[in-house]
Amino acid sequence: MELPPGWAALIEDYAAHLDAERGLSAHTVRAYSTDLRELAIFADVEPGRITVSRLRSWLGAMGDDGAAASTVQRRVACVRGFFAWAAREGVVETDPAVRLKAPKRQRRLPKVLAAGAVSETLAAAEGRAAEADDPIALRDLALIELLYSSGLRVSELCSLTLLDIDRDRRSVSVLGKGGKHRTVPLGLPALRAIDAWLGVRGQVSTPLSPETVFLGARGGALDPRVARRVVHAATAAAGPGAEIGPHGLRHAMATHLLEGGADLRSVQEMLGHASVATTQIYTHVTSERLREAFRQAHPRA
């Protein structure tokens, strides 16, 4: 559907701003561009004629269509950022989104894999790697060990290069969201698994293979979807109701660190969270675990 006058070029300029100046991921830029196109079609007026009441009607229509609160929140963030930028650029005289508020998002605590369940998952992956005469089994073990040791996002893991691993310092250098670098320590089991995989990586790589740590079965860069399938298969039976897959290991790593006495700021740095408020959800997880243990074990609970 054709957009009302003034929108197409403006959305394109804003997308370029998000990419070049704010360093947002291509996925986020596409999502924001789609949101703005949907707003333009709904409003059916030029950008400078959008009002806050029209924006609220747009959000209300989403709710009527059953959109999740998280989706509405993202779109509020999108239009607030867009109109603030448009006002600074002089494209609109006033910012109609400055008083726009998002619905409160219900906090859902992640159901985290217990430390014992993770140990069983890793032991099973280690057993498969020892029994199979297949470098991919060693790759999968290294992948799972690294995710649990470092708490990396799966996209960060797939983009790691060989130069990002520092064995002397037992750490990995990560390029995270917004183009921000961070250094995350690694445990010895993860380093041993990575070394075992790198010892057979040459059996998979080709002259055209990238310099990434992990490769696909044909020697190309490892697709994040393949990494997710590997971890889902490994963790599927580990904990009924718990979140599995790469993000499940990320949740588990953060929760187990806090349960072991790590401070919140250190965990925030390792996870690459921009705000400590994002990391604080894991303190609620550990508190809930303590309460559950009390209810089950204390005679006067």
The residues annotated as belonging to the active site are: 153, 177, 247, 250, 273, 282
Q: How far is CA 26 from CA 8, 19, 141, in A?
A: 18, 7, 29
What φ, ψ does residue 182 adopt, rounded to 5°? Answer: -150, 160
Buried/exposed code over 149-187 (b: 16+ C-beta within 10 A; e: otherwise): bbbbbbebbbbbeeebbeeeeebbebbbeeeeebebebe
Which one-letter amino acid corresponds to residue 128? R
Nearest to 179 by CA among 80, 253, 76, 274: 274
How far is residue 110's CA from residue 54's CA, in Å, rounded to a whole number?
36
**For tokens 């953060």, what's the residue?**
254
Joined tokens for residue 102: 């998002």
Nearest to 232 by CA among 240, 244, 219: 244
Which one-letter amino acid corresponds to residue 12? E
**For tokens 């080709």, what's the residue?**
206
